[in-house]
Amino acid sequence: MYLSLSRLLPHLAGLVDVGVERVESRLVIYGRSASGHAECPRCGTAAVRVHSSYSRRLADTAVAGWPVVIKLQVRRFFCGVDACPVKTFAEQIPGLTTRYARRTPLLRKLLEAVAIALAGRAGARLATRLGVVVGRSTLLRLIRAIPDPQIGDVAVLGVDDFALRRGHVYGTVLVDMDSHRPVDLLPDREADAFADWLRAHPGAKVICRDRAGAYAEGGRTGAPEAIQVADRWHLWHNLAKHVDKTVAAHRGCLTPLPAVDSDSQAEEDVRQPAPVLVMAVEQPLDHTPDRAFDATLDVCGRERRLVTRTRERYAAVCDLLAKGESLAGIGRTLGLDRKTVQRFARATSLD
SS (H, E, C) 175-225: EECCCCEEEEEECCCCHHHHHHHHHHCCCCCEEEECCCHHHHHHHHHHCCC
Identify whether 150 is part of a domain. no
Count of C-beta atoms within a 10 Å radius of residue 135 = 13
- Per-residue pLDDT at 4 exceeds 50: yes
Identify the CATH number of the domain in which residue 217 sits.
3.30.420.10
- 162 and 221 both lie in a single domain: yes
pLDDT tops 90 at residue 141: yes
Residue 200 has pLDDT above 60, yes or no: yes
Between strands 88-90 and 254-256, the pairing is unpaired
Q: Does a structural domain hold residue 261?
A: yes
Check residue 50 and report its DSSP letter. Answer: E
Could you tell me if 35 and 70 lie in one domain? yes
Is residue 221 one of the residues assigned to a domain?
yes
Residue-level pLDDT at 282: 46
Asked whether the predicted pLDDT for residue 283 surpasses 50, the reply is: no
- Rounded Cα distance between 124 and 247, Å, is 55
- Tell me, yes or no, whether 48 and 117 share the same domain: no
For the segment 319-345, the average pLDDT, to the nearest whole number, is 87
For the cut 60, the answer to whether the pLDDT of residue 337 exceeds it is: yes
- Same domain, yes or no, for 123 and 133? yes
**Count of domains observed in the chain:** 5
Which pLDDT score is estimated for 259?
63
Residue 241, in any domain of the structure: no
Residue 180 has pLDDT above 50, yes or no: yes
Per-residue exposure over 89-126, b if at least 16 CB sit within 10 Å of its own CB, e if not? bbbbbeebbeeeeebbeebbebbbebbeebeeeebbeb
Do both 42 and 62 map to the same domain?
Answer: yes
122 and 137 assigned to the same domain: yes
29 touches 19 (CB < 8 A): yes
The whole-chain average pLDDT of the chain stands at 82
In this prediction, residue 347 carries a pLDDT of 85
The model's pLDDT over 9-32, given as tens digits with 9 standing for 90+, comes to 777 777 777 888 888 888 898 888
In this structure, the answer to whether residues 276 and 331 fall within a common structural domain is no
Question: Is residue 74 domain-shared with residue 22, that is, in the same domain?
Answer: yes
Nearest to 145 by CA among 101, 186, 178: 101
Q: Which of 112, 145, 178 is the last residue of a domain?
A: 145
- Which is more confidently placed, 303 or 294? 303
Domain boundary among 118, 145, 172: 145
Q: What pLDDT does residue 249 have?
A: 82
Last residue of a domain, one of 185, 200, 233: 233
Look at strands 38-39 and 181-186 and give their pairing.
Answer: unpaired
Q: Which of 118-122, 142-146, 298-302, 305-309 has the lowest mean pLDDT?
A: 298-302
CB-based contact 198:183 (threshold 8 Å): no
Q: 298: closest CA among 245, 255, 256?
A: 245
What's the N-to-C CA distance of the chain in angstroms? 91
Q: pLDDT value at position 122?
A: 92
Strands 66-78 and 26-33, bridge-based pairing = parallel
- The answer to whether position 279 is within a domain reads yes
* 240 part of a folded domain: no
Whether residues 47 and 97 fall in one domain: yes
**Full residue range of the structural domain in which residue 272 is found:** 250-293
Whole-structure pTM value: 0.53
Domain identity same for 87 and 48: yes
Per DSSP, what are the bridge partners of residue 93? Answer: none
Residues 83 and 140 occupy one common structural domain: no
Q: Kindly state the percentage of the chain with pLDDT values over 90.
A: 17
In a domain? residue 298: no
* Same domain? 89 vs 141: no
Looking at the domain assignment, is residue 35 inside a domain? yes
